Chain A
């Protein structure tokens, strides 16, 4: 299916003709309480947010669930959204990151509990990357986040700073410590997932 090319022209609104397509910031500004406008943003970004969560967690089912949570939370938060100049997707990724961190905490707790009962199990993942996700899962949430955004999502330091709402220098130093911690975890398991 080819992607539709569409324009909205408000004929009696000077200078507004030929918006193609309507920018995220303009849509977001009027999407609070308007399910149709919000629906456009959701359709535009769901795949990207789900993809980020998939690369972050390594678990497709969990990623889809968290992506849905992200958009339901975004709907609730839209009245408080302010265009800061950062891409709208950065705002969505911040919500997605919070959801992923919450899920990671729950997963650690679950493993601790079932581990005590002698039935610890890991979610199904590709053998190819399972080792990485096991090691990532043992890192602090802020370390998992910065590695996911920079190394798995491919964001620049500046873009990562926009998502996290911190200074670029903070991202750099946090990334350095996160990489050290991840390398240590990988060395500790020595290839054993």
Chain B
């Protein structure tokens, strides 16, 4: 009698374990982002208290010639804007980076009214693309580079501190 009960339990256990194993093998079929959370983050980013404020009119582009030219914009698109490299500061202001070609990549320096310097360099070769953003903010703050795969390397600096964000991506070549 006891043996039969034991066998029954074995069978029930086996069936339960099979069902659990099947459920365990189910991979998440949905997206890796939530529109609701994305919308929430956009909202709070816009309302985050600014630690320092930059305005578009305060931005100077130095040492890079005819920045607004159409042909230049096209070159930049190939090098970096295809990856949606966008710089945003902690007051929510968003800057599209416009760079000039230099050697194997492109570069540019943004100087803000408060003296914050963003130096951007891109380089391509050996099957990878590298984007480097050097930041020096006299008043400190947070800078983030957003990429089209959703990653968003970010760096917070104290007043006067130097920092660097470097992104390396295989080009698949």
**Interface size counted on chain A using CB atoms at 8 A:** 55
Asked if B41 and A42 sit within 8 Å, CB to CB, the answer is: yes
Q: A residues 98-154 with Cβ under 8 Å of B? A: 128-129, 131-133, 147, 151-154
Q: A residues 62-115 with Cβ under 8 Å of B? A: 63-64, 67-68, 71-72, 75
Q: Counting chain B CB atoms within 10 Å of each CB, which of A4, A55, A131 scores highest? A: A4
Residues of A within 8 A of B152 (CB): 36, 39-40, 43
* Among B62-70, B71-79, B114-122, B162-170, the stretch in contact with A: B162-170
C-alpha gap A108/B101 in the complex (Å): 63
| CB contact between A60 and one of B23, B30, B144, B169 (< 8 Å): that residue | B30
C-alpha gap A9/B154 in the complex (Å): 10
Could you count the A-B residue pairs with CB atoms below 8 Å apart for me: how many are there?
159
Residues of A within 8 A of B16 (CB): 179, 182-183, 186
Asked if B26 and A35 sit within 8 Å, CB to CB, the answer is: no
| CB contact between A68 and one of B9, B32, B36, B153 (< 8 Å): that residue | B36
Asked if B28 and A50 sit within 8 Å, CB to CB, the answer is: yes
Asked if B172 and A2 sit within 8 Å, CB to CB, the answer is: yes
C-alpha gap A3/B156 in the complex (Å): 23
Asked if B142 and A34 sit within 8 Å, CB to CB, the answer is: yes
Contact with A along B134-173 (1 / 0, CB 8 A): 0000000010100111111111110011111111111010
Asked if B41 and A11 sit within 8 Å, CB to CB, the answer is: no
Asked if B41 and A39 sit within 8 Å, CB to CB, the answer is: yes
Task: Tell yes or no: A187 within 8 A of B by CB.
Answer: yes
C-alpha gap A153/B22 in the complex (Å): 12
Residues of A within 8 A of B157 (CB): 10
Q: Interface residues, chain B, CB within 8 Å of chain A?
A: 9, 12-13, 15-16, 19-20, 22-24, 26-34, 36-37, 40-41, 44-45, 48, 88, 90, 142, 144, 147-157, 160-170, 172
The 5 closest A-B pairs by CB, nearest first: A51-B28, A47-B32, A132-B19, A68-B34, A6-B153
Q: List 16 A-B contacts (CB under 8 A).
A: A4-B168, A4-B169, A10-B164, A36-B144, A40-B151, A40-B152, A40-B153, A40-B154, A43-B32, A43-B152, A51-B27, A64-B31, A72-B36, A152-B20, A152-B23, A182-B16
